[in-house]
Amino acid sequence: MPAHRLPQLDLGENEKQPDTNGAEHSGRFKPTANDDACFKLWNVYISQAHEYDKALLEGWKGDMEGMLLFSALYSATLTALIVESYKKLQLDPADLTTSLLTTISLQLASISNGTATGFEPPDTSFKPMASSLICNMLWFLSLALALTCSLLATFVQQWTRDFLHKTTMRPSPVVQARVLAFSYFGLRRFGMHTFVDVIPILLHISLFLFFTGLVAFLLPVNLPLTILMACVLFIFVLVYLALTLHPLLSLDTPYRTPLSDFFWRIANGFAVRKHGLAGDLSLTEAMIEKSLRKSPERDGRCMEFTMKLLDHDTELVPMFKAVSEAITGPQASGVRLENFRIVAPLIQSPNPENNIISRIHHFISVSESLAGYAEARTYKMKFCLYTLTSLAWLVIRHGMENVGSNYSQYPVFWFQRDLLELLSSSPSLPEGYLISTIAALRTSRVQGFRRCIGWMDEVLSSQKTCTERLGEVKSIFTNLSREDIDWTSKRFIHHFEQLDSTLKSASTSGMTETEAATLVQQVQEHIAQLMDMSRWKAALISVLSQFLSRATGTTLVPFEMDRTFVLIHSSIPTLDVFDQSLDIEEDEAQATYLLQSISTDPRSVPPELFTLVFRLLFSTKSALHFPGAVESRVVLYSYLHHCTVDQMELLVKSDTACHFEECIFLDLSSDPTGDLTSGCVLAVNDLYFGMGFFGSTVPPRSLSFAKGIFRLIPTASTNFTRDRWWFLQSAHTERILCKDIINKVECLSRDISNSHDISSIAPTMENIHALGQRLLPKTPVPECPLTCPPDVYQHWITEIRDYVFSMHLLIATTYINLVTTNFKDRLFGDWNAIWKTIGLYQGHIDKIVQLHFAKSVMGLMSLRPWTQPNESAKSKLFYTYIWVLSTNWCWVTDMESAKILAEAIQFHKSDANFNGIVWYEDVCLDRCMEVIRKADAAEEPPVSQ
């Protein structure tokens, strides 16, 4: 109890103690508000202290009761013997009577013979024998000690009752806690622990005195009997001494005597070091400390014992739950390898009653006959499958950690084939758990298969004779079967069967070393083919494919799907399943073509699962060119189109290898038709949204993807350019590039520290040139020398900003035209960001761009957006964005553009459904009229004088 081991507490006089102010207490104790505030704190102390005290005092009470009973019986027996032995300490009256009668008889005999004899009085002097004296001294002393023990044991019982009574008299936690601490520390201070330990020592001493006195008692009676009892005493002393010293040698012994602690203290340093401990420990503390040291062998025996005691299968569910919790961890690996040896005996045991795999197998096989509701059976089956999955994870991780170790030291753990067959044929098992369980078991079997092949390869490389090597290889090969190869690989199966045939022909009896060497060479060739990493890549791909295929066939996400997926493809540490440079055979690659046959509905196949299926497709080189690759990409594009923005973001984040972009670039570089063309165009839009199209900054991946699309747009086939969504994707691409350019140009305008050298912005200038050549081919890009003074640099910054924002407004014009001309009522573009960027811009806009913008606004106004529902895209664009692109429209400087905008506003005002000026529409009209007046004034000829 930690509260009883505070060395800084003062255990001094139990007189009145001064309070916090130095004054002595007067009157009875009354808890203050500060004391009440510690209510819960003292409750914690009381709960811990009472638990400790209860165990301590009950132990004392039990010991004292036993000693009282023994000492009572012992004292009664000893008293009966003392009654006989103390008589030998004085003259016996019967002996005096016998002497007198003998003298009288002699006198009578002499009278009858006629002779006279004198009277000799009997000798009344008496000296007890030394043996009698010693016997009685020892027995009386022994009786005194026994009675003393009885009295002391009675005292201890009384004191313990008094201790409990004092500590529970007052209900207040504060009072009770202080009384408890006061009483306990007094108990420690006056050594009651030592007092209690002394009582049995006195009783044992009394017993030794009794046996020694018994030898002395029998010495004058009968020598053989005396020798016999002396031998018994000697044996008793030896046994007692052995029981006393045995705990010093073996801390797990159940034997000890009261003297064991005494000898432990004498030899404390030696004993502590012998047992690999440290510190000043008592014997009991040393035993506890030693027992806490990990012992996988002992823990495993405990598990076997526990499993053996669970007679009924219905009692196993708590055991299954406990095992799974013991070996499942929060780490990425999902297991606690430190606990492997605890459960290893449960997996290895040949006894079906002790083998947890066998018990789970039987439990599942009789699950249909279990009593209770279906929900209860499902609950139990979940724990069965979870335990199997956890065990498989543990076995797999254990095999991964021990790669390259001696195979003989790390046995192969097999999950039997009939267990997989049972799981696959049981319709009542929870599907979400079942999928992961079967995948984990298959992975473990593949890993075990490979370990056996590796073991054979290691044996063949040993220095033993060829005959011995063949014999060992045949022994290992008996663990394998053709039925264990449950993946498609003609090449692997061929070499396995050839290896089987070769080993069958190898009869070690009567075989010469030359013949054995030839067979060894043939076996090595087959094993070398079986050890090829490509074959094991195919095996793991098969497991992954079946795992994902079963998952996509349901609407459930498998239990621990991501962790299971990672564990499968990493189960062979030296193998990277997704390394395309490690190629596999065509028949082996069929397992990767799962994508072409799954649903395109995210509600049926969640994005987390779809990502894994898509990743599996790219595990081989044929991902983009196998016969069903086109159908797979159609499924991909259709799935992307049905995703929400959040789902799309998840897919993009999961595709760290950028395989989505790889598919789109491939199709844009070719001349596809049909669904692949339209799906590819829509996929560009979907990926832009998934990469953060509406963000204020452009993520690096989005920028890289947009640059790739931008380069492919001029060379795209007519099948793409005819698609109704093609120009929207072009606009999105230009918008992303322009947004990135604007962010970088704005940073340049705020930082003039590098104005003397602008070579660092060369990449940005390359992007400006590329985009400008596409959008404003007739307008030259403002150039600036590599080194220039600050005023020239600032002028160039102004010009380049005007150029970039002109391109930006032109892109906004494209979005307006798409909203105006598209048959679907959609608001295209990130207009909130466009409005924030252009709405506050007061620089110069290229006249060509102004004209395009004015025409697009006129096209929108001709559709009378003010007459359409407020939720429509045209109405939102008209009311929310168009007239707030600039607070004063200062960039409207072209007369032709001004006339078109003025005409559009007048068209609005003259409409029968005109409901008033909106936003800055009147500001725009005034600005346009001013531009027109200035232009007219400049064109009027001068008045002649």
The string of pLDDT tens digits covering residues 190-199 is: 777 777 777 7
- Cα–Cα nearest to 686, from 720, 735, 630, 645: 645
- In sequence order, what are the beta bridge partners of 18? 24
pLDDT tens per residue, range 514-545: 888 889 899 999 999 999 999 999 999 999 99
Q: Is the pLDDT of residue 689 over 70?
A: yes
For residues 900 and 877, the answer to whether their CB atoms sit within 8 Å is no
pTM, 2 dp:
0.74
Q: What are phi and psi of 335, to 5 degrees?
A: -135, 165
Residue 88 one-letter amino acid: K
Q: What is the pLDDT of residue 732?
A: 94
Q: At 422, list the tokens.
A: 């049972």
Binned at pLDDT 50, 70 and 90, residue 887 comes out as: low
Q: Which of 112-121, 661-670, 872-881: highest mean pLDDT?
A: 661-670
- Exposure b/e, 688-716, CB count within 10 A at least 16 = b: bbbbbbeeeebeebbbebbbbbbebbeeb
Q: Give 346 or 48, the one with higher predicted confidence.
A: 346
As a whole number of angstroms, the distance between CA 579 and CA 540 comes to 13
Q: DSSP characters for 136-177? A: HHHHHHHHHHHHHHHHHHHHHHHHHHHHHHHHTS---HHHHH
pLDDT tens per residue, range 317-372: 888 888 888 888 776 667 888 888 888 888 888 888 888 898 888 888 887 665 55
For residues 485 and 496, the answer to whether their CB atoms sit within 8 Å is yes
Q: Is the dihedral of CA 504, 508, 510, 516 positive or negative?
A: positive
Q: What is the pLDDT of residue 23?
A: 39
Binned at pLDDT 50, 70 and 90, residue 686 comes out as: very high
Q: What is the pLDDT of residue 7?
A: 35
Question: CA dihedral defined by 656, 659, 660, 666, rounded to 10 degrees?
Answer: 150
Q: Give 740 or 212, the one with higher predicted confidence.
A: 740
Q: Give 483 or 313, the one with higher predicted confidence.
A: 483
Q: Give 339 or 701, the one with higher predicted confidence.
A: 701
Find the mean pLDDT for residues 896-918.
89
Q: What is the 3-state secondary structure (H, E, C) of 774-823?
A: HHCCCCCCCCCCCCCCHHHHHHHHHHHHHHHHHHHHHHHHHHHHHHHHCC
Q: Maximum Cα–Cα distance for the chain, whole Å?
A: 214
As a whole number of angstroms, the distance between CA 136 and CA 610 comes to 96
Q: Which of 91-95, 136-140, 711-715: highest mean pLDDT?
A: 711-715
Q: What is the pLDDT of residue 593?
A: 93
The mean-pLDDT minimum among 149-158, 476-485, 746-755 falls in 746-755
pLDDT tens per residue, range 367-416: 766 555 677 788 888 989 999 999 999 999 888 887 665 655 566 778 88
As a whole number of angstroms, the distance between CA 358 and CA 363 comes to 8
Percent of the chain with pLDDT over 70: 81
Mean pLDDT of the chain: 81
Residue 784 one-letter amino acid: C
For residues 594 and 549, the answer to whether their CB atoms sit within 8 Å is yes
Percent of the chain with pLDDT over 90: 30
The mean-pLDDT minimum among 111-120, 302-311, 558-567 falls in 111-120
Q: What is the pLDDT of residue 15?
A: 39
Q: At 431, list the tokens.
A: 């599907």
Q: Is the pLDDT of residue 168 over 70?
A: no
Q: DSSP characters for 81-115? A: HHHHHGGGGS--HHHHHHHHHHHHHHHHHHHHTT-
Question: Which helix (H) or strand (E) segment is 249 a member of?
Answer: helix 223-249
Q: What is the pLDDT of residue 617?
A: 93
- Give every CB contact of residue 65 below 8 A, 6+ residues apart in sequence: 153, 157
SS3 376: helix
Q: Which of 8-22, 463-477, 680-694: highest mean pLDDT?
A: 680-694
Q: DSSP characters for 16-57? A: PPB-TTSPBP-SS----HHHHHTHHHHHHHHHHHHHHHHHHH
Rounded to the nearest angstrom, the gap between the alpha carbon of residue 138 and the centroid of all alpha carbons in its chain is 69
Q: Is the dihedral of CA 769, 770, 773, 775 positive or negative?
A: negative
Q: At 858, list the tokens.
A: 């006129």
Q: What are phi and psi of 18, to 5 degrees?
A: -70, 145
For residues 779 and 803, the answer to whether their CB atoms sit within 8 Å is yes
Q: Give 222 or 473, the one with higher predicted confidence.
A: 473
- In sequence order, what are the beta bridge partners of 328? 335
Rounded to the nearest angstrom, the gap between the alpha carbon of residue 920 and the centroid of all alpha carbons in its chain is 60
Q: How many CA atoms lie within 13 A of 96 on its CB side?
A: 9
Q: What is the pLDDT of residue 25?
A: 44
CB-neighbour burial class of residue 640 (10 A; exposed 0-12, middle 13-18, buried 19+): buried
As a whole number of angstroms, the distance between CA 850 and CA 858 comes to 12
pLDDT tens per residue, range 417-464: 899 999 988 888 899 999 999 999 999 999 989 988 988 998 888 888
SS3 672: coil
SS3 365: helix
Q: What are phi and psi of 659, to 5 degrees?
A: -70, -30
Q: What is the pLDDT of residue 178?
A: 67
As a whole number of angstroms, the distance between CA 139 and CA 81 comes to 9
Q: At 316, list the tokens.
A: 């196993």
